[in-house]
Amino acid sequence: MTIKRRKFIQQSVAGTAMASTGLWACQPATNDEIPAAVVPQSSGTMPLVIATWDNFEATQAAAKVLEKGGSALDAVEAGARVPEADPNDLSVGLGGLPDIKGVVTLDACIMDDLGNAGAVCFLQGIKHPISVARKVMEQTSHVMLSGQGALEFALEQGFVEENLLTVSSKKHWEEWLKDQKPFGETNFENHDTIGILALDAQGNISGACTTSGMAFKLHGRVGDSPIIGAGMYVDNEVGGACATGVGEYVMKTLGSFLIVELMRQGKSPQEACEEAIKRIVKRQPKLYREYEVGYLAINKSGVYGAYGTEKGFEYTLYQDGENNKYPAEHFLKS
Protein backbone atom coordinates (compact mmCIF):
# COMPACT_ATOMS: atom_id res chain seq x y z
CA MET A 1 0.00 0.00 0.00
CA THR A 2 1.36 3.39 -0.91
CA ILE A 3 1.31 5.83 1.94
CA LYS A 4 1.21 9.47 0.85
CA ARG A 5 2.47 12.19 3.09
CA ARG A 6 3.52 15.74 2.56
CA LYS A 7 6.61 17.09 4.12
CA PHE A 8 6.26 20.79 4.78
CA ILE A 9 9.32 22.84 5.38
CA GLN A 10 9.47 24.43 8.82
CA GLN A 11 8.33 28.03 9.22
CA SER A 12 11.69 29.74 9.18
CA VAL A 13 13.40 32.76 7.79
CA ALA A 14 14.14 30.75 4.70
CA GLY A 15 10.63 29.37 4.62
CA THR A 16 9.06 32.79 5.00
CA ALA A 17 11.23 34.09 2.23
CA MET A 18 10.17 31.22 0.01
CA ALA A 19 6.52 31.75 0.89
CA SER A 20 6.74 35.40 -0.06
CA THR A 21 8.09 34.41 -3.41
CA GLY A 22 5.56 31.64 -3.87
CA LEU A 23 8.23 28.97 -3.66
CA TRP A 24 6.81 26.71 -0.92
CA ALA A 25 8.49 23.37 -1.19
CA CYS A 26 5.90 20.67 -0.52
CA GLN A 27 7.59 17.44 -1.40
CA PRO A 28 6.06 14.02 -1.10
CA ALA A 29 7.94 11.95 1.43
CA THR A 30 9.20 8.54 0.48
CA ASN A 31 8.12 5.36 2.21
CA ASP A 32 11.69 5.13 3.52
CA GLU A 33 10.86 7.88 5.98
CA ILE A 34 8.12 5.86 7.64
CA PRO A 35 9.73 3.70 10.31
CA ALA A 36 9.44 0.01 9.57
CA ALA A 37 7.82 -2.17 12.19
CA VAL A 38 10.05 -4.49 14.15
CA VAL A 39 8.80 -7.97 13.36
CA PRO A 40 8.23 -9.79 16.66
CA GLN A 41 10.39 -12.87 17.12
CA SER A 42 8.50 -14.58 19.92
CA SER A 43 6.09 -17.28 18.92
CA GLY A 44 2.41 -17.29 19.61
CA THR A 45 -0.35 -19.01 17.68
CA MET A 46 -3.26 -17.94 15.55
CA PRO A 47 -6.18 -17.59 15.46
CA LEU A 48 -6.46 -15.70 18.70
CA VAL A 49 -9.11 -13.61 20.43
CA ILE A 50 -8.60 -11.62 23.60
CA ALA A 51 -11.16 -9.52 25.46
CA THR A 52 -11.17 -7.44 28.60
CA TRP A 53 -12.75 -8.90 31.74
CA ASP A 54 -14.73 -12.08 32.10
CA ASN A 55 -16.23 -12.15 28.62
CA PHE A 56 -16.22 -15.86 27.89
CA GLU A 57 -19.27 -15.76 25.62
CA ALA A 58 -17.88 -12.81 23.68
CA THR A 59 -14.57 -14.52 22.90
CA GLN A 60 -16.47 -17.71 22.13
CA ALA A 61 -18.66 -15.90 19.60
CA ALA A 62 -15.57 -14.34 18.03
CA ALA A 63 -13.74 -17.68 18.00
CA LYS A 64 -16.66 -19.29 16.22
CA VAL A 65 -16.21 -16.82 13.37
CA LEU A 66 -12.47 -17.46 13.20
CA GLU A 67 -12.82 -21.24 13.35
CA LYS A 68 -14.93 -21.08 10.20
CA GLY A 69 -12.18 -19.11 8.48
CA GLY A 70 -13.90 -15.76 9.03
CA SER A 71 -12.13 -12.43 9.30
CA ALA A 72 -10.82 -10.81 12.46
CA LEU A 73 -13.18 -7.91 11.73
CA ASP A 74 -16.27 -10.13 11.71
CA ALA A 75 -14.95 -11.85 14.82
CA VAL A 76 -14.51 -8.73 16.94
CA GLU A 77 -17.91 -7.39 15.91
CA ALA A 78 -19.58 -10.71 16.78
CA GLY A 79 -17.75 -10.74 20.11
CA ALA A 80 -18.64 -7.17 21.05
CA ARG A 81 -22.31 -7.73 20.25
CA VAL A 82 -22.61 -10.38 22.99
CA PRO A 83 -22.31 -8.12 26.06
CA GLU A 84 -24.07 -5.31 24.17
CA ALA A 85 -27.19 -7.49 23.99
CA ASP A 86 -26.90 -8.73 27.58
CA PRO A 87 -29.28 -6.77 29.86
CA ASN A 88 -27.34 -7.99 32.90
CA ASP A 89 -24.09 -6.39 31.75
CA LEU A 90 -24.15 -3.00 33.46
CA SER A 91 -21.40 -1.34 31.46
CA VAL A 92 -22.18 -2.11 27.84
CA GLY A 93 -25.18 -1.69 25.51
CA LEU A 94 -28.62 -2.75 26.73
CA GLY A 95 -28.80 -2.40 30.50
CA GLY A 96 -25.68 -0.22 30.69
CA LEU A 97 -25.77 2.15 33.65
CA PRO A 98 -27.03 5.60 32.66
CA ASP A 99 -25.57 9.07 33.08
CA ILE A 100 -26.48 11.56 35.79
CA LYS A 101 -29.79 12.29 34.04
CA GLY A 102 -30.76 8.63 33.77
CA VAL A 103 -29.93 8.46 30.06
CA VAL A 104 -27.97 5.49 28.66
CA THR A 105 -25.37 6.83 26.22
CA LEU A 106 -23.08 4.50 24.32
CA ASP A 107 -19.60 4.79 22.80
CA ALA A 108 -17.89 2.32 20.46
CA CYS A 109 -15.20 2.00 17.84
CA ILE A 110 -13.92 -0.60 15.42
CA MET A 111 -10.80 -0.91 13.23
CA ASP A 112 -9.94 -3.37 10.50
CA ASP A 113 -6.67 -4.71 9.16
CA LEU A 114 -6.52 -2.12 6.37
CA GLY A 115 -6.44 0.77 8.85
CA ASN A 116 -10.08 1.68 8.31
CA ALA A 117 -11.88 2.95 11.39
CA GLY A 118 -15.42 3.75 12.49
CA ALA A 119 -16.83 5.07 15.74
CA VAL A 120 -19.94 6.40 17.44
CA CYS A 121 -20.21 8.36 20.64
CA PHE A 122 -23.04 9.66 22.82
CA LEU A 123 -25.35 7.32 20.90
CA GLN A 124 -28.71 6.64 22.53
CA GLY A 125 -31.41 4.06 21.93
CA ILE A 126 -29.41 1.60 19.80
CA LYS A 127 -28.32 -1.64 21.45
CA HIS A 128 -25.40 -2.40 19.13
CA PRO A 129 -23.18 0.67 18.82
CA ILE A 130 -20.33 -1.54 17.55
CA SER A 131 -22.36 -2.42 14.46
CA VAL A 132 -23.27 1.23 13.91
CA ALA A 133 -19.54 2.05 14.19
CA ARG A 134 -18.82 -0.56 11.54
CA LYS A 135 -21.46 1.00 9.27
CA VAL A 136 -19.81 4.40 9.78
CA MET A 137 -16.53 2.81 8.71
CA GLU A 138 -17.93 1.01 5.70
CA GLN A 139 -20.75 3.25 4.47
CA THR A 140 -19.38 6.75 5.01
CA SER A 141 -16.19 8.67 4.41
CA HIS A 142 -16.13 9.70 8.09
CA VAL A 143 -14.67 8.05 11.16
CA MET A 144 -17.00 9.15 13.97
CA LEU A 145 -20.63 10.18 14.33
CA SER A 146 -22.07 11.46 17.60
CA GLY A 147 -25.38 11.84 19.42
CA GLN A 148 -28.47 12.62 17.39
CA GLY A 149 -26.57 12.42 14.10
CA ALA A 150 -25.32 8.94 14.97
CA LEU A 151 -28.85 7.88 15.90
CA GLU A 152 -30.31 9.23 12.65
CA PHE A 153 -27.61 7.44 10.68
CA ALA A 154 -28.27 4.20 12.57
CA LEU A 155 -32.00 4.41 11.85
CA GLU A 156 -31.29 5.05 8.17
CA GLN A 157 -29.12 1.93 8.19
CA GLY A 158 -32.00 -0.14 9.54
CA PHE A 159 -31.15 -0.30 13.24
CA VAL A 160 -34.13 -0.28 15.60
CA GLU A 161 -34.47 2.30 18.39
CA GLU A 162 -35.29 0.87 21.81
CA ASN A 163 -35.24 1.75 25.48
CA LEU A 164 -31.85 0.66 26.85
CA LEU A 165 -32.57 1.58 30.47
CA THR A 166 -33.60 -1.70 32.06
CA VAL A 167 -35.51 -1.98 35.34
CA SER A 168 -32.28 -3.03 37.03
CA SER A 169 -30.07 -0.24 35.64
CA LYS A 170 -32.79 2.30 36.48
CA LYS A 171 -32.86 0.99 40.05
CA HIS A 172 -29.07 1.36 40.33
CA TRP A 173 -29.38 4.95 39.11
CA GLU A 174 -32.21 5.77 41.52
CA GLU A 175 -30.21 4.37 44.41
CA TRP A 176 -27.17 6.36 43.34
CA LEU A 177 -29.31 9.53 43.11
CA LYS A 178 -30.24 9.25 46.78
CA ASP A 179 -26.59 9.39 47.72
CA GLN A 180 -25.18 11.34 44.80
CA LYS A 181 -22.03 13.36 44.90
CA PRO A 182 -22.12 17.11 44.19
CA PHE A 183 -22.96 17.86 40.58
CA GLY A 184 -19.89 17.77 38.43
CA GLU A 185 -17.83 15.60 40.72
CA THR A 186 -16.42 12.78 38.69
CA ASN A 187 -17.86 9.37 39.32
CA PHE A 188 -15.62 6.43 38.53
CA GLU A 189 -17.81 3.63 39.82
CA ASN A 190 -18.37 1.53 36.75
CA HIS A 191 -16.07 1.07 33.81
CA ASP A 192 -16.04 -2.53 32.65
CA THR A 193 -15.76 -1.65 28.99
CA ILE A 194 -15.27 -4.51 26.57
CA GLY A 195 -12.23 -4.21 24.34
CA ILE A 196 -11.68 -7.14 22.01
CA LEU A 197 -8.82 -7.94 19.62
CA ALA A 198 -8.58 -10.79 17.11
CA LEU A 199 -5.90 -12.28 14.89
CA ASP A 200 -7.39 -14.44 12.18
CA ALA A 201 -5.98 -17.46 10.38
CA GLN A 202 -4.77 -15.20 7.57
CA GLY A 203 -2.68 -13.28 10.09
CA ASN A 204 -4.83 -10.14 10.02
CA ILE A 205 -5.75 -8.12 13.09
CA SER A 206 -8.90 -6.15 13.94
CA GLY A 207 -10.22 -4.62 17.14
CA ALA A 208 -13.41 -3.32 18.73
CA CYS A 209 -14.33 -1.44 21.86
CA THR A 210 -17.80 -0.79 23.26
CA THR A 211 -19.17 0.72 26.45
CA SER A 212 -21.91 2.64 28.19
CA GLY A 213 -19.04 4.56 29.78
CA MET A 214 -18.62 5.69 33.32
CA ALA A 215 -21.73 5.15 35.39
CA PHE A 216 -23.65 8.31 36.33
CA LYS A 217 -21.27 10.46 34.29
CA LEU A 218 -22.16 14.02 33.36
CA HIS A 219 -24.63 14.19 30.50
CA GLY A 220 -22.59 14.53 27.32
CA ARG A 221 -19.42 12.94 28.67
CA VAL A 222 -17.56 10.79 26.16
CA GLY A 223 -14.74 8.52 27.28
CA ASP A 224 -11.82 6.83 25.60
CA SER A 225 -13.69 3.90 24.08
CA PRO A 226 -14.79 5.51 20.79
CA ILE A 227 -11.54 7.44 20.35
CA ILE A 228 -9.31 5.73 17.82
CA GLY A 229 -5.90 5.35 19.47
CA ALA A 230 -7.24 5.77 22.99
CA GLY A 231 -9.77 2.99 23.67
CA MET A 232 -8.48 0.81 20.84
CA TYR A 233 -5.99 0.86 18.00
CA VAL A 234 -4.87 -1.55 15.31
CA ASP A 235 -1.97 -1.39 12.89
CA ASN A 236 -1.98 -4.64 10.97
CA GLU A 237 1.75 -4.29 10.35
CA VAL A 238 2.40 -4.41 14.09
CA GLY A 239 -0.48 -5.41 16.36
CA GLY A 240 -3.46 -4.10 18.27
CA ALA A 241 -4.31 -2.78 21.71
CA CYS A 242 -7.41 -1.91 23.70
CA ALA A 243 -8.26 -0.36 27.02
CA THR A 244 -10.71 -0.59 29.86
CA GLY A 245 -11.08 1.54 32.95
CA VAL A 246 -11.10 5.24 33.55
CA GLY A 247 -11.24 6.72 30.09
CA GLU A 248 -9.92 10.11 31.10
CA TYR A 249 -6.53 8.59 31.93
CA VAL A 250 -6.44 6.55 28.76
CA MET A 251 -7.31 9.57 26.63
CA LYS A 252 -4.66 11.76 28.20
CA THR A 253 -1.97 9.26 27.27
CA LEU A 254 -3.54 7.91 24.04
CA GLY A 255 -2.88 4.48 25.52
CA SER A 256 -3.77 2.08 22.71
CA PHE A 257 -1.84 4.01 20.08
CA LEU A 258 1.08 4.27 22.47
CA ILE A 259 1.12 0.49 22.98
CA VAL A 260 1.06 -0.23 19.27
CA GLU A 261 3.86 2.25 18.64
CA LEU A 262 5.93 0.72 21.44
CA MET A 263 5.45 -2.69 19.82
CA ARG A 264 6.50 -1.16 16.50
CA GLN A 265 9.74 -0.17 18.19
CA GLY A 266 10.32 -3.75 19.30
CA LYS A 267 8.64 -4.10 22.69
CA SER A 268 6.63 -7.23 23.37
CA PRO A 269 2.87 -6.80 23.91
CA GLN A 270 3.42 -7.30 27.64
CA GLU A 271 6.25 -4.75 27.84
CA ALA A 272 4.20 -2.26 25.83
CA CYS A 273 1.15 -2.62 28.10
CA GLU A 274 3.34 -2.15 31.16
CA GLU A 275 4.97 0.96 29.70
CA ALA A 276 1.54 2.47 28.93
CA ILE A 277 0.36 1.85 32.50
CA LYS A 278 3.57 3.40 33.84
CA ARG A 279 2.86 6.47 31.70
CA ILE A 280 -0.48 6.85 33.54
CA VAL A 281 1.22 6.31 36.90
CA LYS A 282 3.73 9.04 36.04
CA ARG A 283 1.02 11.47 34.96
CA GLN A 284 -1.37 10.65 37.83
CA PRO A 285 0.98 9.77 40.69
CA LYS A 286 -1.76 9.89 43.32
CA LEU A 287 -5.01 9.30 41.45
CA TYR A 288 -3.99 6.14 39.63
CA ARG A 289 -4.16 4.30 42.97
CA GLU A 290 -7.87 4.95 43.23
CA TYR A 291 -9.04 4.44 39.68
CA GLU A 292 -8.29 1.45 37.52
CA VAL A 293 -7.05 1.14 33.94
CA GLY A 294 -6.29 -2.11 32.13
CA TYR A 295 -4.69 -2.73 28.74
CA LEU A 296 -4.56 -5.71 26.38
CA ALA A 297 -2.31 -6.06 23.35
CA ILE A 298 -1.55 -8.61 20.65
CA ASN A 299 1.09 -8.74 17.94
CA LYS A 300 1.28 -10.30 14.49
CA SER A 301 2.78 -13.51 15.88
CA GLY A 302 -0.15 -14.18 18.17
CA VAL A 303 1.70 -13.10 21.29
CA TYR A 304 -0.41 -11.16 23.77
CA GLY A 305 0.06 -8.93 26.81
CA ALA A 306 -2.19 -7.74 29.64
CA TYR A 307 -1.51 -5.29 32.43
CA GLY A 308 -3.52 -3.17 34.83
CA THR A 309 -2.94 -0.48 37.38
CA GLU A 310 -4.17 -2.69 40.19
CA LYS A 311 -5.15 -6.22 41.14
CA GLY A 312 -8.50 -7.29 39.75
CA PHE A 313 -8.11 -6.66 36.03
CA GLU A 314 -8.73 -9.86 34.13
CA TYR A 315 -9.09 -10.92 30.53
CA THR A 316 -10.54 -13.77 28.49
CA LEU A 317 -8.33 -15.46 25.91
CA TYR A 318 -9.19 -17.84 23.11
CA GLN A 319 -6.06 -19.48 21.71
CA ASP A 320 -5.09 -23.03 20.69
CA GLY A 321 -8.78 -24.00 20.82
CA GLU A 322 -9.13 -23.05 24.49
CA ASN A 323 -11.21 -20.23 25.93
CA ASN A 324 -10.25 -19.19 29.45
CA LYS A 325 -10.26 -16.28 31.86
CA TYR A 326 -6.96 -15.11 33.42
CA PRO A 327 -5.91 -12.49 35.98
CA ALA A 328 -3.66 -9.78 34.53
CA GLU A 329 -0.38 -8.66 36.00
CA HIS A 330 -0.68 -5.27 37.69
CA PHE A 331 1.39 -2.29 38.78
CA LEU A 332 0.17 -1.83 42.35
CA LYS A 333 1.49 -4.75 44.32
CA SER A 334 -0.41 -4.08 47.54
The binding site for ligand GLY (CB under 6 A) comprises 191, 193, 211, 213-214, 223-225, 244-247
CB of 91 to ligand GLY, least distance (A): 8
Based on CB atoms, which residue is closest to ligand GLY, 236 or 316?
A: 316
Residue ranges of E strands in 97-254:
106-111, 117-123, 144-146, 194-199, 205-211, 232-235, 239-245
Residue 253 appears among annotated catalytic residues: no
Question: What's the CA dihedral at 200, 92, 150, 162 to 10 degrees?
Answer: 120
CB of 244 to ligand GLY, least distance (A): 6
Q: Residues 6 or more apart from 28 whose CB is under 8 A from it?
A: 4, 5, 6, 7
Q: Per the residue annotation, which of 59, 105, 166, 193 is the catalytic one? A: 193
CA distance 246 to 141: 30
User: Is the torsion defined by CA of 93, 95, 101, 103 positive or negative?
Assistant: positive
Based on CB atoms, which residue is closest to ligand GLY, 127 or 191?
A: 191
Based on CB atoms, which residue is closest to ligand GLY, 227 or 303?
A: 227
CB of 245 to ligand GLY, least distance (A): 6
Based on CB atoms, which residue is closest to ligand GLY, 225 or 268?
A: 225
CB of 194 to ligand GLY, least distance (A): 10
Residues annotated as part of the active site:
193
